[in-house]
Amino acid sequence: MNSAALEFTSLTDDQLLIGTKRLVAHEPQATAALLRSLMEIDSRRLYLREGCSSLFSYCTQVLHLAEGAAYNRIEAARAARRFPAVLTALEEGWLTLASVRLLTPHLTLENHGQLIAAARHKSKRDVELFVATLAPKRAVATVLRRLPEKPEAAPAAAVPVSTLPAPGDSPKDALLL
């Protein structure tokens, strides 16, 4: 067992619960700090110096983030550069990275404050529903198509009677006719 695992096993139940809550309370600030770093790396294009063609490849190949985690953080960092209120909402724990990713395509200079406020402390599913009201899709028209008619059963190929074997003949004899 490593020392970190021993550290947790030595905690009482109450200490573990309190410590976990403390970690969760600090996570938004750590995420915001990471986003600030990614924003600066992106603006300076430092990922090129690290041998990566994009910020995404830098996040996945150098920082070893999972693809989904990298995508969410990059989208949030780029949204935060355009709308600093996004970073504040993340840092305060009002929004999650997934919520920011869902909201980002709909944010404008005019509405970003309202949209962030409307998504505050909402679950991902609630934000998905909220975003659906922002850009409702038109109902898909019902399309009825006539199915092709079944082809009638083709008649059996006509075989001349003279080539059919007579009752009691062997198949070989029939071929000789």
What is the tens place of the pLDDT at every residue in 20-32?
A: 999 999 999 999 9
Q: Is residue 5 pLDDT above 80, yes or no?
A: no
Average pLDDT estimate for 139-164: 69
**Structural domain contains residue 177:** no
Q: Is residue 35 pLDDT above 80, yes or no?
A: yes
**Structural domain contains residue 152:** no
Q: Is residue 161 pLDDT above 70, yes or no?
A: no
**Structural domain contains residue 158:** no
Residues in contact with 92: Cβ distance below 8 Å, sequence separation at least 6, in sequence order: 28
For position 167, what pLDDT does the model report?
62
Count how many domains the chain has.
1
**Identity at 33, one-letter amino acid code:** A
d(CA 44, CA 10): 45
**Structural domain contains residue 90:** yes
For position 74, what pLDDT does the model report?
96
What is the tens place of the pLDDT at every residue in 77-127?
A: 999 999 999 999 999 999 999 999 999 999 999 999 999 999 999 999 999
pTM: 0.69
d(CA 95, CA 81): 16
Pair of tokens at residue 150: 């079944």
What is the tens place of the pLDDT at every residue in 118-148?
A: 999 999 999 999 999 987 777 777 777 788 8
In contact, 47 and 112? CB cutoff 8 Å: no
Q: In which domain, by residue range, is 79 found?
A: 11-136
**Structural domain contains residue 5:** no
**Structural domain contains residue 130:** yes
Residues in contact with 130: Cβ distance below 8 Å, sequence separation at least 6, in sequence order: 118, 119, 122
d(CA 14, CA 12): 5
For position 177, what pLDDT does the model report?
47
Task: Tell me which residue has tokens 């006509």.
Answer: 158
For position 134, what pLDDT does the model report?
86
